[in-house]
Structure 1
């Protein structure tokens, strides 16, 4: 199980302006990821939360960067890419991953990485935070982004 050994993160996000940037493909998986992120944000007392949808995962970096530049304190990027029979999976996965990292580094805003890159739809569903899922990657991405936001606030004084 890939979630084995994950830390337990708890951050008070009162006053944080948060954007969830989520792709639109694979509705059941995305609904689970978004719900997990929203629950984590509610548990952290984040009340200023905006959900922004993108067409797909390839578009996540640009929209996440725009949200960071629009003065959101935290951005959570959620998407899913499922391997097919062409190199499309590798290109989109690499571009989205590199783009999200660059967007966070360029803006200094934490961007939670909730982009699932799976071989099958079953693997994605198992990580989507649904009732019968083993993992909740939407929650994990939100918790990690909030923890980074708190650490950056401490470092920046």
Structure 2
């Protein structure tokens, strides 16, 4: 399984302001990712959370950029892209990944990357943090964003 060896990150995020930007495609999977992110943020002590929904994963970077401009300490980006029979998968995955990376590096605001890029729905459900899922990528993305925001405060 791809999550083998993943660290469990526990960080006190008290006082952080976090934006969760979530795509809308694949509702059940997205609900799992969003639920995982919310649980992780609550466990980290983050109480100032704003959730914004965008149409799809392609729109995540522009929303993350706006959140970074608005003074959020961290952003959690959640989406699902499932391979189909056209090159659309590669374009959207590349645009989301490169766009979110650019926002993080350009603004200095950490972005937890919770965009599932899967070959099929079974793989996405396995990572969605739903009952029976093997992984919770929404929670992992939130934990990474909080841990990085706390680490950056030390620099």
Does TM, normalized by the shorter one, top 0.5?
yes
- For Structure 1 versus Structure 2, the TM-score category normalised by the shorter chain is over 0.9
Equivalent in the alignment of 2:71: 71
TM-score when scaled to structure 2?
0.99
Give the Å deviation of 1:57: 0.4
Q: How does 1:2-151 map to 2 (within 5 A)?
A: 2-151=2-151
Describe the superposition over 1:79-113 as per-residue Cα deviations: whole angstroms up to 9, x where unpaired: 00000000000001001100000000111000000
Give the Å deviation of 1:8: 1.6
Describe the superposition over 1:47-101 as per-residue Cα deviations: whole angstroms up to 9, x where unpaired: 0001000010000000011101100001000000000000000001001100000
Describe the superposition over 1:16-63 as per-residue Cα deviations: whole angstroms up to 9, x where unpaired: 000000000000000000000000000001000010000100000000
Give the Å deviation of 1:131: 0.5
Rounded Cα–Cα distance in structure 2 between residues aligned with 1:5 and 1:119:
22
Rounded Cα–Cα distance in structure 1 between residues aligned with 2:6 and 2:61:
25
Give the paired residue count.
Answer: 155
Rounded Cα–Cα distance in structure 2 between residues aligned with 1:2 and 1:88:
23
TM-score when scaled to structure 1?
0.98
Rounded Cα–Cα distance in structure 2 between residues aligned with 1:153 and 1:143:
16
Rounded Cα–Cα distance in structure 2 between residues aligned with 1:10 and 1:68:
23
- Aligned with 2:12: secondary structure? coil
RMSD: 0.5
Q: Runs of at least 4 residues of structure 1 off by over 2 A?
A: none
- Aligned with 1:58: secondary structure? helix
- Aligned with 1:2: secondary structure? coil
Unaligned 5+ segments in structure 1 are: none
